[in-house]
């Protein structure tokens, strides 16, 4: 898999994690975790988690409790409710989801660029690109590319 495909895959997965709070659960899905149980953001790592904690962790305990997660979901809903009606129609839902995925993809790409641009001059040189070693999550935690 090419690096750009891998980046798109992980960006899509990150968007899914971010937007997963608005997805409808299947009828045969397991029951929701009890209040106070760790959620996906509590187990996630990296810049996205740090951004979410900075914005929503109002009690600064390093995790998102149910009220903090509810505030995050409300912000996501408001971003999708382009008409400001307090409702998203079934017809508008696919476009709202696509816009949310695109916004997350753009955010992730900008963050990736910023990590690669080590001298912060607004450009990624061939040397910076070649030296960049992202951590890709694996089943046992972060791992490096096979060619490292």
Q: Do 123 and 138 meet the contact criterion of CB atoms below 8 Å apart?
A: no
pLDDT for residue 44: 52
The 10s digit of each residue's pLDDT in 72-109 is: 999 989 888 888 999 999 998 999 899 889 988 998 89
Distance, in Å, from the CA atom of 82 to the CA atom of 70, rounded to the nearest integer, reads 19
Q: Which stretches in the chain have pLDDT values below 70? A: 1-47, 136-148
Distance, in Å, from the CA atom of 91 to the CA atom of 23, rounded to the nearest integer, reads 15
pLDDT for residue 139: 53
């Amino acid at each position: 898999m090419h690096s750009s495909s891998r980046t798109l895959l992980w960006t899509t997965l990150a968007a899914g994690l971010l937007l997963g709070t608005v997805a409808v659960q299947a009828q045969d899905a397991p029951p929701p975790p009890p209040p106070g149980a760790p959620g996906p953001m509590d187990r996630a790592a990296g810049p996205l988690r740090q951004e979410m904690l900075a914005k929503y962790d109002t009690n600064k305990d390093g995790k998102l409790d149910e009220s903090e997660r509810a505030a995050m979901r409300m912000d996501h809903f408001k971003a999708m409710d382009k008409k400001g009606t307090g409702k998203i129609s079934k017809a508008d839902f696919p476009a709202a989801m696509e816009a949310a995925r695109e916004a997350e993809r753009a955010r992730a790409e900008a963050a990736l660029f910023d990590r690669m641009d080590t001298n912060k001059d607004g450009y990624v040189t061939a040397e910076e690109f070649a030296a960049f070693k992202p951590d890709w999550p694996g089943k046992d935690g972060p791992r490096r590319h096979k060619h490292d």
